[in-house]
Amino acid sequence: MRALLIAAALFVAAPAVAQAPASSAVLTDASKAPASATIIDGASWRCTGGSCTANGGANQPAPRACRRVVARFGAVSSFSYKGVALSAEQLAVCNA
């Protein structure tokens, strides 16, 4: 019985521990990458060179998140937010 309770507790707790897919961006101009972590809409963005990644963040469409990142860091050549990658057309709109 004890083993069953432990197994049930682990099963219920697993989704709470699971993390959302990471977000990423590749900046067109690496010199605009921030030197330290930058919070944008609750997502903590960290950059190494022109490659940036983030965890967390508000529930919002990827194109909106892209526009918010571009407003702070400059144009991007690729962008994904919580596992949703933008198409070439969406990137063009984001960078406009």
Would 11 be classed as within a structural domain?
no
Would 12 be classed as within a structural domain?
no
Would 7 be classed as within a structural domain?
no
Would 44 be classed as within a structural domain?
yes
- State percent of the chain over pLDDT 90: 77
**Residue 39: what pLDDT?**
96
Q: What single-letter DSSP state applies at residue 30? A: G
Would 86 be classed as within a structural domain?
yes
**65 touches 57 (CB < 8 A):** yes
Residue-wise pLDDT tens digits, 44-79: 999 999 999 999 999 999 999 999 999 999 999 999
Could you write out the DSSP letters of every residue in 8-20? HHHHHHHHHHPPP
**Residue 1: what pLDDT?**
61
Residue-wise pLDDT tens digits, 26-44: 999 999 999 999 999 999 9
**Residue 4: what pLDDT?**
46
**Residue 64: what pLDDT?**
97
Helix axes 62-73, 88-95, angle to 10 degrees: 40
Would 1 be classed as within a structural domain?
no
Q: How many domains does the chain have?
A: 1
The boundaries of the domain holding residue 79 are 19-95
Q: Compute CA 27 distance to the chain's CA centroid, rounded to the nearest angstrom.
A: 14
Question: What angle is formed at CA 60 by the lines to CA 94 and CA 48, rounded to 5 degrees?
Answer: 60
